[in-house]
Amino acid sequence: MRIAIFNQKGGVGKTTTALNLGAALNRSGNSPLLLDLDPQGHLSSIHGKAPVEANRSLFAFYQDIRNLSELEIAWDHIGHLIPAHQQLIKVDSIFGKGPAILNKLRNGLEALEATNDRPTLIDCCPYIGVLALNAIFACDCLVIPISTDYLSLQAADHITRTLQVLEPVLKRRIERRYLLTRFDRRRRMSDDVRSKLRERYGDDVLDTVISENVSVAESPSLNQDVYRHNASSSGAHDHTTLLHELVERGDLNITLK
Ligand SMILES: Nc1ncnc2c1ncn2[C@@H]1O[C@H](COP(=O)(O)OP(=O)(O)OP(=O)(O)O)[C@@H](O)[C@H]1O
Ligand SMILES: [Mg+2]
């Protein structure tokens, strides 16, 4: 099963969710594959030892130089990563927007899964272009992190409108889950944003919220997920709860150990 993590708003917790949901999966006995589909390469830099050459990154897959299976590298305590490269920024201009390029990632992942089926998490860039469309077209479920502030509500409406435009092209509903991040229970705004999101998107809003947590913020600079940094933190607890909810809802078809 493939989950893409996308919001065109920057800094809402996409990479944080990919990292820590990946670690939660690993701890549940389901080692995932993580794809860094963001030219900024934040997820790859958290890995700490990801190759720096473009021809060992997802860019080589888009250039048809390598298959996805040739690009994966091991990630201790998580699973595997296919790293990004800043050249990915060129994918839009080089490869255009035809149907072949829009389905490229989906086809590549299907070929990979034929021999190695595991949960896949795709960390997206903060804008809609060929890369994000590739992730949306490839995924079974889209997780949309929403940082808990008022501007994020506008961003949620924006992405929802984008999905409504894409659905007739895809000829199916794009399953989506809105995930509140950086939630601060002491602020009235947090509950307010959650209520407004629920009014608009009902059951597509996850019950799980990811609280503002210092261990979540610190761990990337140590090249660690939140469990390795502080397994007893609220951040670790929240990501375990997120995994359980996604499994209960059938968004991840796995057995938890
Ligand atoms: N729950 C949290 N508690 C504290 N800090 C957080 C939390 N979630 C994210 N952050 C911090 O917020 C910043 C942005 O998070 P992150 O990089 O995951 O966002 P993003 O959506 O991937 O950003 P971009 O759009 O640039 O890719 C980071 O410094 C991260 O450590
Ligand atoms: Mg990111």
For ligand 1, is residue 29 a contact (CB within 6 Å)? no
Task: Choose among 6, 74, 25: nearest CA to 239.
Answer: 25
- Specify whether the CB–CB gap between 189 and 150 falls below 8 A: yes
pLDDT recorded at residue 95: 83
Q: Which residue has the tokens 């590739």?
A: 134
Please name the residue whose Cα sits nearest to atom 6 of ligand 1.
Answer: 217
Q: Over its length of 257 residues, how does the chain's per-residue pLDDT go in tens digits?
A: 999 999 999 999 999 999 999 999 999 999 999 999 999 999 999 999 999 999 999 999 999 999 999 999 999 999 999 999 999 999 988 887 778 899 999 999 999 999 999 999 999 999 999 999 999 999 999 999 999 988 999 999 999 999 999 999 999 999 999 999 999 999 999 999 999 999 999 999 999 999 999 999 999 999 999 999 999 999 999 999 999 999 999 999 999 98
For ligand 1, is residue 13 a contact (CB within 6 Å)? yes
pLDDT recorded at residue 99: 81
CA dist., res. 51 & res. 47, Å (int): 10
- Specify whether the CB–CB gap between 125 and 40 falls below 8 A: yes
For ligand 1, is residue 56 a contact (CB within 6 Å)? no
pLDDT recorded at residue 257: 86
- Specify whether the CB–CB gap between 46 and 220 falls below 8 A: yes
pLDDT recorded at residue 98: 78
pLDDT recorded at residue 176: 98
Domains for the chain: give ranges and CATH numbers: 2-248 (3.40.50.300)
Q: Which ligand is nearest to the CA of 12?
A: 1
Please name the residue whose Cα sits nearest to atom 9 of ligand 1.
Answer: 13
Please name the residue whose Cα sits nearest to atom 31 of ligand 1.
Answer: 217
Task: Choose among 213, 153, 150: nearest CA to 178.
Answer: 153
For ligand 1, is residue 213 a contact (CB within 6 Å)? yes
Query: Ligand 1 pocket check: which of 8, 15, 144, 227 to mutate, most ligand atoms within 8 Å of Cβ?
Result: 15
